[in-house]
Structure 1
Amino acid sequence: MSARNGDISSHLLKPEDLRWLNRVTFGVNSETIERYRQIGRNRFLDEQLHPPADDPPDLAAHIRALPVSQKSAKEVLKAAWAEQQRIQHLNNPEEQQRARMALNQQRNEATYKTAERQLMRNIYSPWQLREQMTWFWMNHFNVFSGKGDVTFALADYENYAVRPHALGNFRDLVLATLKSPAMLMYLDNAQSMAGKINENYARELMELHTLGVSGGPSGSQYSQHDVQELARVLTGVGLIPRVDQPLRPGQRTQPVREGAFEFNPNRHDFGTKKILNETIQGTGIDEIELAVTLLCRQPATARFISMKIAQYFVADDPPKKLMDAMASTFNRTNGNIAAVLRTMFTSSEFIAKLNRPQTEAGKFKDPVQFVVSSLRLAYDDKRIINYRPVVSWLQQLGEPLYGRVTPDGYPLEESAWTSSGQMVKRFEIARAIGSGNAKLFDSEDGALRGAGFPMLTRRSFYDAIEPTLRKKTRAALDQATSQQEWNMLLLASPDWMER
């Protein structure tokens, strides 16, 4: 009997195939499974590592329609700064308070719409690895939307600093984040100048973004003096002025500007610096590229970045042999991220993790992975209208997008996400998705367009997911008295919590 008539045995994926797909993507849907079947693992990986620059037309149209996709960080910041100045000059306290509340509402809406855009791509883009790496790097180069005016530059940061370089060259990615207004505001470098240096960004650029903690697992060795010297390199790196001002007498030269980014030589320390025993002459903006190149070519950076990528995709404690191979590729290719990922995904150590017995746990999903994978399976290509429940779920689970206050980003280890409270929340979210009562398809203007509950007992479930389930999970599903209960039991099962 053909599969069209109900026989699906010839379409079954091996458990290791599903596990491989669940690492390369945010989680399978029908399109993912079908594409994998059509072209096989090697070509599927090639496609994911080298996606087209643009989103598919239908998704791109939805992205373009979002307000955060229609203005640059420079335009948004200029408007916000002008409004802040207007509010300061209001004489009526009540009017001033109303204006402040309206501006705060704009901040909240900007953060929400940026999250909506990222979630839209996470759920519906066929180029899943790029979207995963965008999320990974947004966490690695973390900024907090709640600090100052960061949220007004957030959409620009994700779309133009991080996402285009997510599978590209690591040095280019670091430079792009360095020039992002969101990063410069978050880590206070916009205020740093010769004679009044702020070391915050220099320290995190070394410790969190490139080398790792000095004396830590990456083998990095740098001193407080190195941090101070890097901070001197970064003097004058900041934002365009809030109000345009003519060049004052005695200033060296005109600032260099790219969008809302500015390098102001009149605020820069032009003295000679020495970082990691390398001398950098005081030439101005060129020092930035020299310093970033120096940091990115260090063996410690290759080890640190390889370790974090392996922790995200493979295991909390990745095999040393795998990390060494990834670091070797990083060094050999001058930080080619796609090449490092290929080394990881094709390694024997990674494949061994996929071929684990059912009694052995897999890589635990963080909240973003759990929510996105559940929505991809439940609703396939059906378009969500209202993302506010999704944003709320991530807030409840302790991993809101752009909500990490500290620059270290959210933890990658399982222990951060397995508390009893976390599990209760996941159960509630599984029930909401499985019952179809999540209001995902109700428009934000209040119009009800309920989609009904999803039918997770589709062919894609039997093709790929059912063979990976443990006996206890299958037995629980067999006891379900309705489709909604069956959906909830699957999405709340220990098996579904693993990649």
Structure 2
Amino acid sequence: MLSDSPLQRLLALSPVFILIFTMSGCTTSPAPNRVTDAGPSRFLPPSSNTFAKANVQPELLLNRLTWGSNFSAYQQLQAVGMDKFLDQQLRGRASVVPPTVQAQIGAMTISQQPVENIVRELEHKRIVADQQKGTDDSLRKEYQQELNRLAKEAATRSLLRDIYSPNQLQEQMTWFWMNHFNIHAGKHNLRAMVGDFEEHAIRPHALGNFRELLKATVYHPAMLRYLDNEHNANGRINENYARELMELHTMGVNSGYTQKDVQELARVLTGVGINLGTDTPRMKTELSKFYLRKGLFEFNPQRHDFGNKQILGNNIKGRGINEVEETLTLLSRQPATARFISRKLATYFVSDTPSETLIQAMANSFLQSDGDIPVTLRTMFDSQEFIASLGHKLKDPVHYAVSSLRLAYDGSCIVNAAPIISWLNMMGQPLNGRQTPDGYAMTESAWASPGQMTVRFDVARNIAYGTPALFKTDQQVSAEKPRTPAIASSLYVKNWVQTFSTDTQQTLQQAATPGEWSTLFLASPEMMRR
């Protein structure tokens, strides 16, 4: 390759060049096809024609509503129009992924076995391994390897759906809520639970009702273990989960609740925990009627504080698990919760600094609909602030990797997500890898460093020149013939590039090979933003 090639010049300047170059956006292209309508939404009003009236560029809209625009998504949008496309996405219909992808998902342990079976079997191995510690550590290694394998399955399932599902908004919202209700898979045995947490606590409610979503997370063993509520009992109060439930999951910090409210909520949550065994604990007859068990979740009345509580000025009568139900409804209907959730959604989908006007409009929709997530989102999507923001939001690492792969392998099925998982680790955003409960930052300052951009350039080059490992299983049997992404020869991409900045187009024109052209395209400022 020539020493003065654009690829080498970009390599030399990548931290500065790409960081400066990440300040523009992208747009449009043509093509048709047909998508079946799922019928009228149960909650949403008819299409508002907001995007059509504003003459929104399809590529810009797709890059925000989906994990990244590609020809398949463009055809899906063109078949029904932009506004009806939004309606379809807000409905969150059942995802249908390509058969090769679905076969991978269906073959996973986390897809075939209930989480309680997985966890109990592993718990038995852990106990035996602990008994042999110091004499035979092979069982402990096997135990850790199995936890790692299950965590990889969970990450793989998420990534495959993000790349290939036609219900892209549902996939984005699943990731958003997984980040909002963050659990760190590295703690204890949570690697065995994280897949179930996503599949049964988050995913069914990602485009549903916030109160039901909140309830599902409170009753999931992964959350109870991560935030230590399994140790919260009458006489041994642990406030950890109660504090995060108010500060991070519902009302937000400095929203009016007090330390006393946290303490009272912790009392409500006493006895809410997990049971990895199969036996029901012995207890007095008068308490047994309050006992509740579902899978690994357990409400043990022997550990519960049955005294009356007062939270946010409301009296909560001591009566067992029903206190939890009442308190979750109370928290989900707080104006502070409506604003906190609306601000996070607007930060994720609109800008790092959404206006107070937009936040309040979304909060009003949240309260009026009793926490309906699609209604709240619709208010945001219909706003002029959302439309004006298109093309300006910096992609976080997951968005960058997935959007690049959606474009590169549209119509070609990845069978091994290990390289993607490795790229996300390199970029500092491994799935379920945030140790603190606040989740990953959604603002540009967290992801716009020169070092981050240099790593992204390496990822762009890996994708552009083809990554054969994506098409080989762990047994090294190629399930699909590897191919170099045809980005440089794609008419769809070429039409899209015509909307890029003059500087980007001139740089692309100097590429000496298709691989070089594809690298420069994937590393361009337009591909860094959504």
Same fold per superposition (TM over 0.5): yes
Change beyond 3 A, Cα 1:143–1:257: same
Equivalent residue for 2:437?
407
Give the SS at the match of 2:315: strand
Equivalent residue for 2:115?
73
Question: Which residues in structure 2 correspond to 1:451-470 (within 5 Å)?
Answer: 451-456=482-487, 457-463=489-495, 465-470=496-501
Note the C-alpha offset of 1:245. Answer: 5.2
State the AA in 2 paired with 1:213: V
Counterpart of 2:352 (choices 316, 323, 342) is: 316
C-alpha contact (below 8 Å) 2:92/2:207 kept by paired residues: no
Matched, 1:261 2:297: yes
Structure number with the bigger relative contact order (C-alpha 8 A, sep ≥ 6) is: 2
Equivalent residue for 2:262?
227
C-alpha contact (below 8 Å) 2:90/2:207 kept by paired residues: yes
Matched, 1:165 2:209: no
Give the SS at the match of 1:440: helix
Greater displacement, 205-214 / 16-25: 16-25
Counterpart of 1:41 (choices 82, 101, 113) is: 82
Task: Quote the Cα distance in structure 1 between the aligned partners of 2:139 and 2:104.
Answer: 30
Q: Deviations over 1:252-283 (max 9, x none)?
A: 21520111111111110000000000000001
Equivalent residue for 1:284?
320
Give the SS at the match of 2:472: coil
C-alpha contact (below 8 Å) 2:95/2:165 kept by paired residues: no
C-alpha contact (below 8 Å) 1:189/1:234 kept by paired residues: yes
Matched, 1:368 2:409: no
Change beyond 3 A, Cα 1:178–1:9: closer
Task: Quote the Cα distance in structure 2 between the aligned partners of 1:248 and 1:261.
Answer: 17
Equivalent residue for 1:64?
106
Equivalent residue for 1:441?
471
Q: Deviations over 1:107-162 (max 9, x none)?
A: 11111110000001000000000000000000000000000111111111000000
C-alpha contact (below 8 Å) 2:130/2:140 kept by paired residues: no
RMSD: 1.9
Give the SS at the match of 1:496: helix
Task: Quote the Cα distance in structure 1 between the aligned partners of 2:177 and 2:263.
Answer: 25
Equivalent residue for 1:27?
68
Counterpart of 1:188 (choices 220, 223, 228) is: 228
Task: Quote the Cα distance in structure 1 between the aligned partners of 2:206 and 2:388.
Answer: 26
Identity of aligned residues (%): 47
Task: Quote the Cα distance in structure 2 between the aligned partners of 1:496 and 1:187.
Answer: 37
Q: Deviations over 1:205-251 (max 9, x none)?
A: 0000000002xxxxx10110000000000000001243625514577
State the AA in 2 paired with 1:22: N
Counterpart of 1:275 (choices 301, 305, 311) is: 311
Greater displacement, 382-391 / 251-260: 251-260
Give the SS at the match of 2:524: coil
Equivalent residue for 1:240?
275
State the AA in 1 paired with 2:525: P
Matched, 1:115 2:115: no
Q: Deviations over 1:59-105 (max 9, x none)?
A: 54432221111112211111111112222333x7342x110000000
Note the C-alpha offset of 1:468. Answer: 3.1
Change beyond 3 A, Cα 1:246–1:198: closer
Task: Quote the Cα distance in structure 1 between the aligned partners of 2:469 and 2:276.
Answer: 43
With the length of structure 2 as denominator, give the TM-score of the two structures.
0.87
Counterpart of 2:330 (choices 273, 294, 319) is: 294
Task: Quote the Cα distance in structure 2 between the aligned partners of 1:183 and 1:11.
Answer: 45
Task: Quote the Cα distance in structure 1 between the aligned partners of 2:239 and 2:96.
Answer: 38
Q: Which runs of 4+ in 1 moved over 3 A?
A: 8-15, 53-57, 59-62, 248-251, 447-450
Task: Quote the Cα distance in structure 2 between the aligned partners of 1:176 and 1:147.
Answer: 20
Where does structure 1 lack aligned partners over 5 or more consecutive residues?
A: 1-7, 215-219, 355-360
Question: Which residues in structure 2 correspond to 1:138-153 (within 5 Å)?
Answer: 138-153=178-193
State the AA in 2 paired with 1:86: V
Counterpart of 1:132 (choices 154, 172, 175) is: 172
Equivalent residue for 1:496?
527
Task: Quote the Cα distance in structure 2 between the aligned partners of 1:26 and 1:423.
Answer: 19
Equivalent residue for 1:305?
341
Q: Deviations over 1:305-349 (max 9, x none)?
A: 000001111110112221111111101101100111111111121
With the length of structure 1 as denominator, give the TM-score of the two structures.
0.92
